[in-house]
Structure 1
Amino acid sequence: MTTVGIIQPNFIPWRGYFDFIRDVDVFVFLDDVQYTTRDWRNRNRIRTRDGASRWLTVPVRASRSDLIRDVEIDSSTSDWCATHARILKENYRASPFLDEALAMLEETYARHHRLADLDVDLCQRVMARLKISTPTVRSSELGASGAKDERLIDLTRRLGGTRYLSGPSAKGYIQPELWDAAGIDLAYKTYPDYPIYAQIAEPFDPHVSIIDLLIMVGDKAADLLGDQPGEGSRRPGTRRAGQPI
């Protein structure tokens, strides 16, 4: 059984995004669908020293008619890379792995002019840090057709998938009968209560960007994704609170 997962590329997403990738045999970055503003595509939250959170945002030139793959980063009005570095240094200056995380971010930021390219590259770099070896592909490389469920079914078929793992937020609108007709098993991801680690302030927030985990624990981050599911023992189920995927 080959399990396929498909999610839009997000900017340094939360821990559950990477746990989802680890749960599938092939992961698709859904980059040829409509861009959504004020969403996870170009921003995410970090912890602050006062126990709150703050957004790191990538400025973009985009409208709601644009596809994710075509959205350009807008560096014309601010040095957003330097702003991200300043915010991280202000809040995490005593954290042991800040320099490593900053180096990864700054190197990746400098390479890209399109948001999807940045998001995918960052995700793949974080996957390597988390020892996740799941193959990835961008939907724009596969030439799928249709909309909504039909498009996802086409993508799954093109990758030889016999099982589709959905994010839990899709349970309200996905059409199981279409998947049954296609002969593809449909399951929903359950996000566990991930292990707690020391953050820069209390109370603990499990839903911030993965960059928080990397800054705080470094290479031990791979051990804090929860239990590794075995082949054939994926974790379908209901949704828990967190960043929706």
Structure 2
Amino acid sequence: MQPYFLPYLGYWQLLNYVDKFIIFDDVNYIKKGYINRNKMLLKNGLYQFTLSIDGASQNKKICELKLLGDHEKILKTISQGYKDALNFETIYPFMEDIFSFRSPCLVDFIEHSIKKICDLLSIKVEILKSSKIILNESGANKIIPLCKLHSANVYVNPVGGMELYKKDDFLAHNIDLRFIKLIPLEYDQLNTPFHPNLSIVDFLFNVPKANWGRHLEGYEII
């Protein structure tokens, strides 16, 4: 999976389901995607927050991108937007810790946040970066070789990948291709109509910790 910034719950369900997760960071950056931005819900509606990138270009690989270092403004917005949330007293200091990580590298910053949230959600998974694994193939052609390199007999992708990947292509290499699909479970969002698929930030602030496991298991495998 590509590295996404504070992604929606389905990303964490995938992390929770697999035993090895490879951050696919040596592919080209996609503008207007979720690599460096996401959405949360404020009292006046949906709000899109973005990590500013120095010279963002679709001609650069994700692992080549550098941060401008102005992401403290996102933390301030989180503080203002979720100050009345159920878990503010515990989750806001956690967010401060995530945003205090200092690295000019976008992928390093995102990897740090992924590992911190995995720890918070009690997700046990090995996390690697594709840019650190030397193979002759590149891009999407690297997926099956990566599976073979790590002796994987199952590859799991979000359900959106059904249009990109074919099970027969993986079966030819004795790999079972599966897709994970989020089953939306609603939760209270500060007395507003429920908005699904927001950043994990919204989930962490609003859902009682005792219910986190139930939401992480809210998926089906296709």
Q: Which letter maps to 2:35?
A: R
Q: TM-score, normalised by structure 2?
A: 0.90
1:33 and 2:27 are equivalent in the alignment: yes
Moved more, 10-19 or 108-117: 108-117
Q: Deviations over 1:187-211 (max 9, x none)?
A: 11121133x2221132111211111
Q: CA deviation at 1:112?
A: 2.0
Cα distance change on mapping 1:161 and 1:109 into 2, 3 Å: same
The count of corresponding residues between Structure 1 and Structure 2 is 220
CA distance in 2, matches of 1:66, 1:90: 34
> How many Å separate the matches in 2 of 1:107 and 1:122?
9
Deviates more, 1:56-65 or 1:174-183: 174-183
Match of 2:62 in 1: 68
Select which of 121, 133, 144 maps to 2:135: 144
- Listed as ranges, the matches of 1:165-184 within 5 Å are 165-184=156-175
For residue 159 of structure 1, the aligned residue among 150, 160, 173 is: 150
The AA in structure 1 aligned to 2:110 is D
Partner of residue 18, structure 1: 12
Letter in 2 for 1:21: L
CA contact (8 A) 2:16 2:123 kept: yes
Unaligned runs of 5+ in 1: 1-6, 230-234, 238-245
Cα 1:122/1:221, change in 2 over 3 Å:
farther
Relative to structure 1, the CA distance from residue 68 to residue 148 in structure 2 (aligned partners, 3 Å threshold; closer, same or farther) is closer
Aligned-pair RMSD on alpha carbons? 2.0
In structure 1, C-alpha distance between the alignment counterparts of 2:174 and 2:90, rounded to whole Å:
45
TM-score between the two structures when normalised by the length of structure 1: 0.82
